[in-house]
Structure 1
């Protein structure tokens, strides 16, 4: 899929990639949710399906946090307070811990809810605000949303598909 360059393309990408991800999640047997055999977000580490969904929830909720803070004129610590862009593996591990006690079904509901709130956020913006000006450094708001929604949804769906095939699930 090409990189979105306008509101309509961004909304399509978010929904399309989320739908593909949802299909892959639905195909994971409950008995394999905590099988720590997916490549992790830290070099040479392993994670499980629950960790992967936690990662997606974490990033989606960060997008919402960024927008909420910017909306009231507060400064935003990108990517998150206490983390630099060169510490994304550590941030991923934080997400795993943040959501570890939540059952997978509830975590998927939380992911869907966060995605829906991001869609509402995008729907409330116009192309100029989404793609016509820098929002964070050189990145537009639309690009920052895409980098933390449709792109990771696509990546996660591909990881899950490969993982299921390699485990004959």
Structure 2
């Protein structure tokens, strides 16, 4: 399988392949360690918690859903998010961490699962043409924008979370 999905089926497969593995890793981390810093952050030289990695994935997933909802309603979209430019993704990541800072670990995992299921339902309801044969944002297709913000960061976070687990003897 190509590392970059080129079709609706490949996009679904990419998410459905990485997500259960990531969730298994998250579930193997005890809640008392989930807020400890020790995961490489999105801003060079920073350390974040496992909970922050979950918040990051929820944040981007919800943005994808928001972008699609606004576009479908004919509303303008502030990419990547209102108040943030593409060159401020580290700040946006920090915003996501803060947004979910008070959530218990289990609730974060449930929210991530819900968000991913919403994204998979969105993909299922779209045609391959909607996803990969029509420019959606600048030169990017909707399928590529979804992949940039789901399966790709899931793989990246899984690598970081597995390093954290190893460092903590899990």
TM-based fold match above 0.5: yes
Question: Which stretch has the larger CA shift, 53-62 or 152-161?
Answer: 152-161
Q: Deviations over 1:109-159 (max 9, x none)?
A: 111111111111101111111000110010000000001011111111111
Name the structure 2 match of 1:133.
134
Matched, 1:27 2:28: yes
Matched, 1:165 2:166: yes
Structure-2 separation of matches of 1:20 and 1:155 = 12
Q: Deviations over 1:21-68 (max 9, x none)?
A: 111101112221111111111121110011110011000000010011
TM-score, normalised via structure 1 length: 0.97
Structure-1 separation of matches of 2:46 and 2:157 = 16
Structure-2 separation of matches of 1:111 and 1:38 = 18
Instruction: Name segments (4+ residues, structure 1) moved above 4 Å.
Output: none
Q: Which runs of 5 or more residues in structure 2 are unaligned? A: none
**What's the Cα RMSD here?**
0.9
Q: Give the secondary-structure state (helix, strand or coil) at the position aligned to 2:37.
A: coil
Name the structure 2 match of 1:9.
10
Instruction: Kindly report which structure 2 residues correspond to 1:1-169, keeping only aligned pairs within 5 A, or say none.
Output: 2-169=3-170
Q: Give the secondary-structure state (helix, strand or coil) at the position aligned to 1:37.
A: strand
Structure-1 separation of matches of 2:108 and 2:83 = 24
Q: How many residues align?
A: 169
Q: Deviations over 1:76-112 (max 9, x none)?
A: 0010000001000000000011011111111111111
Instruction: Give yes or no for contact 1:56–1:153 (8 Å, CA) kept in 2.
Output: yes
Once the two structures are TM-superposed, the CA of residue 167 in structure 1 deviates from its matched residue by: 2.1
Structure-1 separation of matches of 2:110 and 2:156 = 19
